[in-house]
């Protein structure tokens, strides 16, 4: 019995200290997030805006996305990279070939399908080739959007503000990401069930509350991270990174975070803009969501190879170094935490079973203190974001609904623990291939006549082949 009691004490102590550290982190990002004030807008005309949209089998969404971009941002140049799609994506893009604001770059096998970073690098090369030699690259802003994105029409004025690209010291800006259900659902083509709608809401809350709060902390430490959707970077910094590393984007599955690290290592400053947003389609099933988060976790593990450079860099502040190290360590801490917490639970159950009087005896002997500790240190740090989500983002929600969303967010967080173990399994097997997640409501295949009626890509000056 003494040995088991000691084991329980040690495990509980370690688990408690990890919980306290996590709660302290949550409290710090929560306070900073609630204190963040909105910044003023700027003059977007002084900047040259380009948006890259990588496309791999995006026929169901790319047409609508391009029409929205051309309508809402008429002075923006859009670069679509067709990465050897086989679902009619290129035919969708070819319909826009007569518009001088749209450039389509086509990647073909065997050089295509090498990851998102490779597609972005192809667009970067094409932008450099087509821009006039006299253009100042520091005034050229390169944005990256997913093919299903809804970009705020006012994003340029927000990004041109003095806190962002209105300041010459700012090299890159990540905008707030929002999640929404499949656009076809609104037209009745694909109705989501109750649990699917809840999953969409939880993803939206995750990005607009805890992830936004993490970025608020990073604004203070100087380590704002880039996201895969809604990142904007000065061309001059992309060129500077390429001069040192060959290309701006590299091979990590988390190529967006990797880009942010290279920007910081190059001496650039990154910012987070909550005054504007980009929305994208949320996932509506658990398995694709775990697969997506596993990809992110594995990408974070891969980015660990840059930690040495971050530690040695005299361009990154100490606070930023600590925050980056914490982010890179997070998936490994989750791997450690899973058996640790399960071990605590197992030993506690054994102890309850061997305590005189069983569960009642254990409860009277002090076990009554465990549920409050679990509520405060285990559930509270996750559930609080439901209240923040209502207060800062969705004020129409009722307080009971906000509390319920917070509790659901606590359960939702366990999906990340599963995803980390999936990522670890892939990492030790040296697997980095990923199949693109299908859209929630893909339309029927394109009619054969429609594709045949479109003019060949060779007749359009905006369509470019690339094997790079």
Q: Residue 460 domain-assigned?
A: no
Average pLDDT over residues 9-19: 72
Confidence of residue 453 (pLDDT cuts 50, 70, 90): very low
Q: Residue 419 domain-assigned?
A: no
Average pLDDT, the chain: 87
Confidence of residue 173 (pLDDT cuts 50, 70, 90): very high
Q: Residue 208 domain-assigned?
A: yes
Average pLDDT over residues 185-200: 72
Q: Residue 317 domain-assigned?
A: no
Residue 236: CB atoms within 10 A of its CB come to 14
Measured distance CA(279)–CA(204) in Å, rounded: 9
Confidence of residue 228 (pLDDT cuts 50, 70, 90): confident
Average pLDDT over residues 259-279: 96
Q: Residue 416 domain-assigned?
A: no
Sheet-wide strand order for 48-55: 150-151, 269-281, 170-180, 231-234, 140-144, 48-55, 77-83, 102-107, 463-466
| 445 vs 12, more confident | 12
Q: Looking at residue 350, what is its pLDDT?
A: 81
CATH of the domain at 57: 3.90.550.10
Q: Looking at residue 179, what is its pLDDT?
A: 95
- In sequence order, what E strands does 84-230 have? 102-107, 140-144, 150-151, 170-180
Domain count, the chain: 1
Average pLDDT over residues 336-362: 83
pLDDT at 154 over 90: yes
pLDDT at 443 over 60: no
Q: Residue 420 domain-assigned?
A: no
Q: Residue 103 domain-assigned?
A: yes
pLDDT at 403 over 60: yes
CA torsion angle for 215, 218, 224, 227 (degrees, to 10)? -30
pLDDT, tens digit (0-9, with 9 covering 90-100), for 106-133: 998 888 888 899 999 999 999 999 999 8
Q: CA–CA distance from 316 to each of 71, 170, 267, 320 (Å)?
A: 40, 14, 7, 6
Q: Looking at residue 206, what is its pLDDT?
A: 97
Q: Kindly tell me the number of DSSP H helices and DSSP E strands found in the chain.
A: 18, 9
pLDDT at 460 over 60: no
Average pLDDT over residues 382-406: 95
Q: Looking at residue 411, what is its pLDDT?
A: 95
**Owning domain of residue 84:** 41-287
Q: Exposed, middle or buried, 223 (CB in 10 Å: 0-12/13-18/19+)?
A: buried
Whether the CB-CB separation of 54 and 147 falls below 8 Å is answered with: yes
Whether the CB-CB separation of 50 and 74 falls below 8 Å is answered with: no
Q: Using the 8-state DSSP alphabet, how is residue 145 labeled?
A: -
Q: Looking at residue 388, what is its pLDDT?
A: 95
Q: Residue 7 domain-assigned?
A: no
Q: Using the 8-state DSSP alphabet, how is residue 395 labeled?
A: T
pLDDT at 77 over 50: yes
Q: Which helix (H) or strand (E) holds 94?
A: helix 89-94
Confidence of residue 4 (pLDDT cuts 50, 70, 90): low
């Amino acid at each position: 019995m003494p040995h088991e009691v000691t084991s329980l004490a040690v495990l509980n102590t370690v688990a408690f200290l990890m919980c306290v550290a996590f709660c302290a982190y949550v409290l710090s990002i929560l306070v900073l997030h609630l204190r963040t004030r909105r910044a003023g807008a700027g003059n977007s005309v002084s900047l040259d805006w380009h948006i890259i949209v990588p496309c791999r089998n995006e026929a169901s969404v790319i047409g609508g996305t391009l029409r929205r971009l051309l309508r809402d941002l008429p002075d923006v140049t859009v670069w679509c990279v067709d990465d050897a799609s086989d679902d009619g994506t290129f035919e969708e893009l070819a319909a826009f070939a007569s518009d001088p604001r749209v450039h389509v770059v086509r990647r073909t096998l065997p050089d295509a399908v090498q990851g998102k970073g490779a597609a972005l690098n192809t667009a970067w090369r094409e932008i450099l080739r087509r821009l006039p030699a006299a253009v100042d690259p520091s005034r050229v802003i390169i944005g990256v959007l997913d093919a299903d994105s809804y970009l705020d029409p006012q994003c340029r004025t927000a990004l041109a503000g003095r806190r962002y690209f209105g300041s010459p010291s700012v090299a890159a800006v990540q905008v707030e990401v929002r999640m929404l259900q499949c656009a076809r659902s609104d037209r009745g083509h694909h109705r989501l069930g109750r649990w699917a709608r809840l999953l969409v809401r939880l993803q939206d809350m995750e990005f607009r509350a805890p992830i936004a709060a993490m970025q608020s902390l990073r604004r203070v430490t100087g380590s704002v991270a880039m996201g895969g959707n809604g990142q904007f970077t000065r061309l001059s910094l992309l060129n500077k990174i390429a001069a040192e590393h060959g290309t701006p984007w590299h091979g990590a599955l988390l190529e967006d975070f990797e880009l942010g690290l290279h920007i910081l290592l190059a001496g650039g400053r990154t910012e987070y803009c909550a005054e504007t947003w980009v929305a994208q389609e949320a996932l509506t099933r658990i398995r694709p969501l775990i697969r997506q988060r596993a990809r992110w976790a594995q990408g974070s593990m891969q980015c660990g190879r840059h930690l040495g450079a971050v530690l040695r860099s005299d361009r990154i502040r100490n606070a930023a170094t600590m925050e980056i190290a914490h982010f890179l360590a997070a998936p490994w801490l989750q791997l450690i935490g899973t058996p640790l917490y399960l071990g605590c639970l197992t030993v506690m159950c054994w102890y309850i079973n061997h305590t005189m009087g069983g569960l009642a005896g254990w409860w009277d002997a002090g076990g009554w203190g465990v549920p409050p500790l679990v509520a405060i240190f285990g559930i509270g740090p996750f559930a609080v974001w439901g209240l923040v989500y209502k207060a800062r983002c969705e004020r129409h929600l009722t307080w009971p609904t906000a509390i319920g969303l917070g509790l659901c967010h606590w359960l939702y967080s366990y999906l990340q623990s599963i995803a980390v173990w999936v990522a670890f399994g892939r990492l030790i097997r040296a697997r980095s291939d990923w199949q693109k997640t299908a859209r929630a409501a893909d339309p029927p295949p394109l009619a054969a006549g429609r594709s045949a009626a479109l003019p060949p890509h060779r007749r359009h000056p905006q369509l470019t082949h690339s094997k790079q």
